[in-house]
């Protein structure tokens, strides 16, 4: 609380970049109410922070959103609810930390990659077309329509 009292609300602007958008927003309230690069993004409440600068949030209806802060700075819908959002966050960590590594492929190839490997859909993690997961105890495949710095569909799969 001392930090918030001393510095909360401080906004630093970079005239060389975009003088209308703060480049730094300081204090707990500022951090929880401002999008990383936009000044303010929707009414989303952060509920999970990932080590890779990923911010998982919920909206007022309980729907899950995810933001890859270092590459995008904007959230995309990803989950029906908080439980599914947590499941996805855990699976993303498992994918990224997989001992064999993972590949990134342009396009929506999740279903075909999963079929080739004989992987079932992970229903608890799949949310319509927002984020689709397949896997077992050894392999994971995820397909997203956009995000993680990519404008179109992407498929991520363990090696």
Winning range, highest mean pLDDT, from 10-19, 30-39, 51-60: 51-60
pLDDT tens, 83-133?
A: 999 999 999 999 999 999 999 999 999 999 999 999 999 999 999 889 999
Q: Encoding tokens for residue 1?
A: 């609380």
pTM over 0.75: yes
pLDDT at 115 (0 to 100): 99
Measured CA to CA, the distance from residue 40 to residue 136 in angstroms comes to 38
The continuous run of DSSP H or E covering 102 comes out as: strand 102-106
């Amino acid at each position: 609380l001392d930090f918030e009292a001393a510095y909360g609300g401080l906004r630093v602007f970079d005239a060389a970049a975009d003088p209308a958008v703060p480049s730094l927003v300081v204090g707990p309230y500022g951090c929880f109410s401002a999008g990383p690069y936009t000044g303010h993004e929707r009414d989303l409440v952060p509920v999970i922070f990932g080590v890779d600068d990923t911010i998982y949030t919920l909206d007022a209806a309980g729907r899950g959103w995810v933001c890859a802060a270092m590459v995008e700075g904007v959230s995309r819908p990803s989950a029906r609810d908080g439980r599914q959002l947590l499941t996805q966050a855990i699976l993303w960590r498992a994918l990224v930390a997989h001992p064999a590594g993972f590949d990134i492929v342009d396009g929506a190839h999740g279903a075909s990659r999963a079929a080739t490997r004989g992987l079932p859909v992970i229903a608890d993690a799949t949310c319509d077309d927002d984020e689709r997961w397949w896997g077992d105890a050894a392999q994971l495949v995820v397909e997203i329509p956009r995000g993680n710095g990519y404008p179109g569909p992407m498929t991520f799969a363990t090696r």
